[in-house]
Amino acid sequence: MRNLEQNLSEPTKLDHEENFWRKYIFSTDHKVIAKQFLITGIFWAILGGLLSLLIRIPHGFPGADLSWLKPILGGWILEGKIDAEFYLSVVTIHGTIMVFFVLTAGLSGTFANFLIPLQIGARDMASPFINMLSYWMFFISSVIMFASLFVESGPSMAGWTAYPPLSATEKAVSGSGLGMTLWIVSLAFFIVSVLLGGINYIATIINMRTLGMTFFRLPLTVWSLFFTAILGLFSFPVLLSAMFLLFFDREFGTSFFLGEIYIGGSVLNNSGSGSAILYQHLFWFLGHPEVYIVIMPALGIASEVISTNARKPIFGYLMMIVSLATICFLSLIVWAHHMFVSGMNPFLGSLFSLTSFVVAVPSAIKVFNYLATLWKGNIRFTPAMLFSLGLVSFFISGGLTGLVLANNAIDIHLHDTYFVVAHFHLVMGSSAVFGFFAGVYHWYPKLFGKVLSEKLGYIHFWITFVGIYLIFFPMHFIGWNGIPRRYYSFTHIETIEYFPDLNTLISTFAIITFGAQLIFLFNFFYNMFWGAKPIQNPWGSNTLEWTTRAGMPVEENWEGEVPAVHRWPYDYSKPGSDSDFIPQHIPLSETENSNLDKEGIYISLKNLRKNNKK
Amino acid sequence: MSIILAVLLILLICMMVVLIYRLGVFGKAITGWKNDNIDSVRNVNSWLFPLFFVLGIGLLIYFYRTIKPDLIGEAVTEHGKWIDSSMSLSFNLILVIFFVAQAVLVLFVVVFQYNSKRKASFYPINNRLEIVWTVIPLVVFLGLFVDGNYTWSKVMKKNDEDLVVVEIIGMQFNWIARYPGVDNQLGDVNVKYIDGANTAGLNLTDPKGLDDFVSGEIHIPVNKNILFKIRSLDVIHSVFIPHFRLKMDAVPGMPTTFTFKPEKTTNEMKAETGNSWFNYSIYCAELCGRGHFAMKGDVVVDTEIEYEKWLKSQGSWLARHKGYVKYVPDKYKDQAESIIQHTPPETTAEDATFFYKDANVKK
């Protein structure tokens, strides 16, 4: 464990050469670990994206001949069609990969590791070793999940929620054999990884802040990652317990989740008096906070990027923190809105509907604050800014349909239909992915010491932005009509309309949007090697990471002393200052013309006006 | 639809061409960094937002008008109409908020685009505004909650009077129904009694179950309060009848219920939609395995007369499977015999074949 003194003293490791393995593979440097998370995340995102195309093809092009996929999928292609059971695997693995491996590890893992030490002015994490362990636990989890794709009986087929009894016995579906076992083991390792990461992030933020970096001078990215880590610590252990109990039910003949069950021609050996609903409670106790674990870092990144590129302080800094804290607390008590029609007591339905509506308030506050930040700004449309604006747009669209689904009465009809698919893909899927892109475009100069092409970034953004709207907006209509999720084919749906034309449109744009990601991948990997070198602070940003040398920071981040902090991170376009930004490490004594009566977060409107009049 | 698709593609390509043209030579685009007019290049993006917004709204209206005739109509149950009215309140409200919020976003993006001569306003806080947009959403959302929850409690209210009880049983991958028979009481069931013929798991030692009958097609009378007692034999399923706005999970080991009142018979709907093969269907809404997508059950809403007639034509399960009489305890044997004697002869094989309608789903 490092302490603050060590942190503030001169870097210790500068001249110290390390071999390849210590430097790039089993590195304890938070920046290398962040890149490991990033690259692994991108790998999973490509796979998850490809799987989403497999999900869409049978709906968009029902007659399509897929025999050409035989070399990859082998026996899972039957007579030119995807096998109905394998289709469920595709849905399951797409969900699992995207939620856990891409948007939790890839997004939060990358930016928490990268930004926390750099933005609070620390030389590394509180425990670099535990940090390394966190990545390697994730790596083991990834390997196991990847291995499960090649199991003969198929990967898990029970949906990313893995409700027992479907997930509890091989008799229910073939993917609930070895595939499911590997899925559970993989998730267990994943949870360990998240917990190791989480305690480290929290310890670092609390203990390692540089001189002058009070809590209320932390950038909103750090705040959001802080609350994300706390939320993870509360909720992930519950999922771990659910995974253990499910494992016991499967392997050791217990019946925690198994009621009286007759399946595959006989009564299940360990059918007993367990409760399938109990699993749902345990799962969603993580499952709902999980969507906030996914979206909060993205919102934090958006706060930082929007403020920087609007050349304006983030509006309502304190309120942004309060709303994050409120989300963090409330998201722990809304889980059963996924279970309105699961057969639980209707009174609970009322209660959880109420909390679900209330949790929408802090989200609304955040949106209004973003809009107010743009008001009278001087907006630069860098790719990162475009993706952040896209995030806000998606967050509005998807958030509003959340108000429909939080309504327990309406949810009776819309639950488990395409309406839900549209809702969560917009509000947490696409928003979080856009947060991820915004982060990569914004911090690429620090991550890889090179610059991404802005122009390719624009093309990438516009195709993706338009594509995502055309994919998910029509799904609302399909869901409104009552077409259920996770259907392999709509051939059995007769007297309600499932809009084959809209489905073709959706699938077409899914393919186009996936294609646009290749532009990003080219941009990302090409510029990693042959990109131009950035200047020290290319976006004119205030936070501490831009005080490190131009390009990639050295191993312990700052060559000399870690700079001390004298102000909050959002002094953009301050009246009286020549420059339109004043970085955090500039002392107030150097900016006497622009200082306010009362510096700090307690700047009130009255003070501002008084100052302007002077 | 294909025309609209083509138009969209062309527009998208045009947008890209304009962008690439404005960006200069593509080759430079790969690594290019700062150039002198980077901000004017960046500002091109700001104009694409209103363009997309206007096109998007146009497209949305076009979509809506085109598909409107195919949208699911008004609910045909009493509670479904309550849900529909809550739904239209919510949807109208969120549509307004959606347009206003997105329009504001687009407007700000255009109006406040970068200009090197201008300086952004330093405006970090306004407590009054924060209070306004905390309290207003809170009040609006709580209003929606009160409306929704009022509907929810009406829908979920247990209504004991004059109920027609039907047990809906989900299994991989079909739905069957069990009716209480003449005594109007469902007998005991247990998974341990299930076999090839006794799919519902009737416990024949319970006298209440001797007259129960099992049907693949679900008939219910119109304008009566129906109680669905829902259970599952194997994994979790979910009874979903879109036209009824009815959904309730079928959980193994934990029976659930749903009370509702259908207001339109199947024949009325056939006439109304002009669709002679219209029927109400139960779709499975909870992932349940290979045949999830094909797990469908037919629900027929009859007039009261038709329903009574149908009821009479159904014989008790025991009468249809006389070999099982040996499991009935001696003290109830007489009762069983009398039930069998009063059972009408089997009419058609049509109902029985329902089970195997989805047999093409490979297991």
What pLDDT sits at residue B255? 93
Query: Hey, are the CB atoms on A379 and B113 less than 8 Å from each other?
Result: yes
Strands A77-78 and A81-82: antiparallel
**B126 touching chain A per CB within 8 A:** yes
Check whether A250 has a pLDDT greater than 70.
Answer: yes
Q: What is the pLDDT of residues A406-431, one digit of tens each?
A: 999 999 999 999 999 999 999 999 99
Residue B16 has pLDDT above 80, yes or no: no
* B109 in A contact zone (CB under 8 Å): yes
**How many CB atoms are located within 10 Å of the residue B22 CB?**
14
Residue A425 is encoded by which pair of tokens?
């893909």
pLDDT at position A109 = 93
**Measured distance CA(A81)–CA(A66) in Å, rounded:** 6
- Residue-wise pLDDT for A490-522, tens only, equals 999 988 999 999 999 999 999 999 999 999 999
- Any CB–CB contact under 8 A between A496 and chain B? yes
Q: How close is the nearest chain B Cα to the Cα of A604, in Å?
A: 7
Say whether pLDDT at B259 is over 90: yes
- Per-residue pLDDT tens digits for A536-591: 999 999 999 999 998 899 888 998 889 999 888 999 988 888 888 999 999 888 88
- Closest-CA distance, A152 to chain B, in angstroms, reads 16
Three-class SS of B190-242: CHHHCCCCCCCCECCCCHHHCCCEEECCEEEECCCCEEEEEEECCCCEEEEEH
Q: Is B332 on the interface with A (CB under 8 A)?
A: no
> What chain A residue is nearest to B274 in terms of C-alpha separation?
A495
Instruction: Give the tens place of pLDDT for each residue, B340-362.
Output: 887 777 655 444 444 334 433 33
A473 at B interface, C-beta within 8 A:
yes
CB contact residues (below 8 A), chain B span 127-146, against chain A: 127-130, 133-134, 137-138, 141-142, 144-145
H helix intervals, A555-594: none
Residue type, B271: A
Residue B352 has a pLDDT of: 43
Q: In this predicted model, what pLDDT tens digit does every residue of B283-297 receive, in sequence order?
A: 999 999 999 999 999
Overall average pLDDT of the A100-124 stretch:
94
Token representation of residue B119: 């300086």
Question: What is the least distance, in Å, from the CA of A7 to any CA of chain B?
Answer: 32
In angstroms, the Cα distances linking B13 to A42, A462, A463, A472 are 27, 11, 10, 21
- Residues 6+ away with beta carbon under 8 Å from B260: B77, B78, B79, B80, B225, B226, B228, B244, B246
- Contact between chains at A84 and B233 (C-beta distance less than 8 A): no
Residues A434-455 pLDDT 10s: 999 999 999 999 999 999 988 8
Closest CA relative to residue A180, chosen from A202, A197, A163? A163
The string of pLDDT tens digits covering residues A79-98 is 889 999 999 999 999 999 99
Residue A1 sits at the chain B interface (C-beta within 8 Å): no
Best residue in A167, A170, A171, A357 to probe B by mutation, most B CBs within 10 Å? A357
Kindly report the average pLDDT of chain B as a whole number. 85
Q: How confident is the model at residue A318 (pLDDT cuts 50, 70, 90)?
A: very high
Residue A597: the pLDDT is 62
CB pairs under 8 A between A and B: 407
B20 in contact with chain A, both atoms CB, cutoff 8 A: yes
Cα torsion B156, B159, B164, B167: sign:
positive
Closest CA to A292 of A341, A356, A344: A356
Contact A492 B236 (CB under 8 A): no
Select from A15, A193, A30, A29 the least CA-distant residue to A113: A30
DSSP string covering A173-204: -GGGTHHHHHHHHHHHHHHHHHHHHHHHHHHH
Of B12, B247, B278, the CB nearest to A341: B247
Å from B341 to nearest chain A CA?
32
Radius of gyration of chain B (CA): 30
Task: Please report the pLDDT score of residue A80 as a whole number.
Answer: 86
pLDDT digits (tens, 9 = 90+) for B318-341: 888 888 888 888 888 888 888 888
pTM (two decimals): 0.92
φ, ψ (nearest 5 deg) of residue B237: -120, 180
Any B CB within 8 A of A493 CB: yes
Side chain identity at residue A206, one-letter code: I
pLDDT for residue A276: 92
Instruction: Provide the pLDDT for residue A265.
Output: 86
Say how far apart CA A510 and CA A429 lie, in whole Å.
14
- Report how far residue B178's alpha carbon sits from residue B116's, in angstroms, rounded to the nearest whole number: 76
Interface residue A501 vs chain B (CB under 8 A)? yes
pLDDT in tens, A2-51: 555 655 566 665 556 677 777 788 888 999 999 999 999 999 999 999 99
The helix/strand count (H/E) of chain B reads as 10, 10
Percent above pLDDT 90 for chain B: 53
Closest partner residue to B29 among A260, A455, A580, by Cβ? A455
Q: Residues for chain B: how many in total?
A: 363
Sheet with B280-284, side-by-side order of all strands: B218-221, B296-302, B280-284, B237-241, B246-250
Q: Which of A176-180, A549-553, B81-85 has the lowest mean pLDDT?
A: A549-553
Q: How far apart are CA A419 and CA A146, in angstroms?
A: 30
Contacts of A271 in chain B (CB under 8 A): 191, 253
Place of tokens 């709580």: B142
Q: Is the pLDDT of residue A60 over 50?
A: yes
* pLDDT of A78 above 90: no
Sign of the dihedral defined by the CA atoms of residues A429, A431, A436, A437, in that order? positive
Closest CA in chain B for residue A274: B253
The alpha-carbon gap from B184 to the nearest alpha carbon of chain A, in Å, equals 24
**Would an 8 Å CB–CB cutoff place A258 in contact with chain B?**
yes
From the list B87, B254, B286, the residue facing A410 with the nearest CB is B87
Chain B: nearest CA to A531, how far in angstroms? 5
Q: In chain A, positions 168-227, which contact chain B (CB-CB < 8 Å)?
A: 172-173
Task: Tokens for A141, please give them.
Answer: 């989890």
* DSSP-derived secondary structure for B85-109: HHHHHHHHHHHHHHHHHHHHHHHHH
pLDDT attached to residue B143: 95
Minimal C-alpha gap between A609 and chain B (Å):
10
* Phi, psi for A94 (deg, rounded to 5): -55, -50
Distance CA A496, CA A481 (A): 7
Residue type, B160: D
CB A601 within 8 A of CB A216: yes
Point out the residue among B56, B64, B72 whose CB comes nearest to the CB of A481. Answer: B72
pLDDT, position A439: 96
Can you give the pLDDT at residue A494? 85
Buried b / exposed e along A560-578 (16+ C-beta atoms within 10 A): eebbebbbbbbbbbbeebe
pLDDT value, residue A406? 95
In degrees, rounded to 5, the angle at the alpha carbon of residue A403 between the alpha carbons of residues A402 and A408 is 100
- E strand or H helix at A237, and its extent? helix A220-251
Q: How many CA atoms lie within 13 A of B234 on its CB side?
A: 25
CA–CA distances in Å: residue B272 to residues A171, A573, B264, B277, B306: 44, 65, 10, 12, 19
Question: Which residues of chain A are within 8 Å of residue B80 when distances are taken between CB atoms?
Answer: 413
A261: chain B residues, CB-CB within 8 Å: 191, 233-235, 252-253
Contact of A495 with chain B, judged by CB distance below 8 Å, is answered with yes
- How much is the pLDDT for A559? 87
Task: Identify the CA nearest to A272 among candidates A259, A253, A281, A290.
Answer: A259
Mean pLDDT of A238-259: 94
Percent of chain A with pLDDT over 70: 94
Q: Which 3-state string (H, E, C) describes A146-168?
A: HHHCCCCCCCCCCCCCCCCCCCC
Q: Which residues contact A199 (CB under 8 A, 6 or more apart)?
A: A130, A229, A233
pLDDT at B276: 87
Looking at the DSSP bridge assignments, the partners of residue B67 are none
Residue B90 with chain A: CB contacts under 8 Å: 403-404, 407, 410
Question: How many other CB atoms sit within 10 Å of the CB of residue B207?
Answer: 18
The single residue listed with the structure tokens 């390692």 is A208
Percent of chain B predicted with pLDDT > 70: 87
What's residue B351's pLDDT? 47
Pairwise CA distance, residues A166 & A588, whole Å: 63
Determine the pLDDT at residue B282. Answer: 94
Name the token pair of A225: 């990652």
Residues of A (395-424) whose Cβ lies below 8 Å from B: 396-397, 400-401, 403-404, 406-410, 412-413, 415-417
Q: Is the pLDDT of residue B176 over 50?
A: yes
pLDDT value for B342:
78
| Nearest by CB: A410 against B39, B90, B124 | B90
How far apart CA A167 and CA A164 sit, in angstroms, is: 5
* 8 A C-beta contact, residue B324 and residue B197: yes
Confirm or reject contact between A2 and chain B (CB < 8 A). no
User: Would you list the DSSP string of A460-527?
Assistant: HHHHHHHHHHHHHHHHHHHHHTTPBSS-S-STT--SS---HHHHHHHHHHHHHHHHHHHHHHHHHHHH
Residues of A in contact with B32 (CB under 8 A): 453-455, 532
Interior CA angle at B226 toward B225 and B228, to 5°?
150
| B287 at A interface, C-beta within 8 A | yes
Alpha carbons A437 and A388: distance in angstroms, whole number: 9
Q: Is B345's Cβ below 8 Å from some Cβ in A?
A: no
Is A256:A273 a contact under the CB 8 Å cutoff? Answer: no
Is the model's pLDDT at A272 over the cut of 90?
no
Q: What is the mean pLDDT of residues B197-219?
A: 90
Which residue among B113, B120, B128 places its CB closest to the CB of A572?
A: B120
* CA count, 13 A, side-chain hemisphere, B70: 19
Q: Judge contact between B247 and A341, C-beta under 8 A.
A: yes
Dist CA A31 CA A37 (whole Å): 10
Give yes or no for residue B68 having a pLDDT over 50: yes
Of A346, A492, A495, Cβ closest to residue B152 = A346
The answer, for B253 touching chain A at a CB cutoff of 8 Å, is: yes
Minimum Cα–Cα distance from A445: chain B residue:
B33
**Over pLDDT 90: what percentage of chain A?**
77
User: What are B93-144's pLDDT values in tens digits?
Assistant: 999 999 999 999 999 999 999 988 888 888 888 889 999 999 999 999 999 9
Q: What's the whole-number average pLDDT of chain A?
A: 91
Least Cα distance to A566 among A594, A538, A605, A540 occurs for: A594
The answer to whether B100 faces chain A, any CB pair under 8 Å, is no
